[in-house]
Amino acid sequence: MTTHTSHRAAAAPVQRAAQLVGVVFLLVGVLGFIPGVTTDYGSMEFATHESGAELLGLFQVSILHNIVHLAYGLAGLALAGTVAGAYSYLLVGGAVYLVLWVYGLSVGHDSDANFVPLNAADDWLHFALGVTMIALALALGRRRSSRTRSTGAQR
């Protein structure tokens, strides 16, 4: 009789953080398609500032906006499979959200350039997400790499 033992290493903190962020983005993407959770659901457009739908009555959303959340969530779960992937997801993803924050502040909310669409609540949420994701990457990625160096372990 053969006994199979799993030797899979526990996920690093940066991987768990990327998984959590990915799950949150998936949840937000799904919730954006649920009437009631998304107010004025019937006025949701594909990609325009004229979409009147708001997630939780606060964050302006469109079909494209929800799809982006779903894609970000799937990317987070896929990249969380490795320490390097998780670190990159959080760092680069956070930088993308900071660029989106600047974009949201730069274009008028009633402008055709606001195709995502974004409102003031979205803008500041994107800022918070960007800063949080980058902070998680730096704090958890650095802690992992310093622990690996100090023990002399190779991964």
**pLDDT tens for residues 96-154?**
999 999 999 999 888 888 787 888 999 999 999 999 999 999 999 875 444 444 444 44
Q: What are the residues facing 60 on neighbouring strands?
A: 54
Arithmetic mean of pLDDT, 57-70: 94
CA 50 and chain centroid, separation:
24
Query: Within the chain, how many helices (H) and strands (E) appear?
Result: 4, 3
Domain boundaries, the chain: 13-148
Q: How confident is the model at residue 48 (pLDDT cuts 50, 70, 90)?
A: confident
pTM above 0.85, yes or no: no
pLDDT at 89 over 60: yes
According to DSSP, the β-strands at 54-55 and 59-60 are antiparallel
25, exposed or middle or buried, with CB in 10 Å at 0-12, 13-18, 19+? Answer: buried
| Ranges assigned E (strand) in the chain | 38-39, 54-55, 59-60
Angle at CA 60, nearest 5°, toward 56 and 64?
115
Decide: 34 and 88 in contact? Cβ < 8 Å.
Answer: no
Q: How confident is the model at residue 2 (pLDDT cuts 50, 70, 90)?
A: low
Q: How confident is the model at residue 4 (pLDDT cuts 50, 70, 90)?
A: low
Residue found under tokens 């739908």? 53
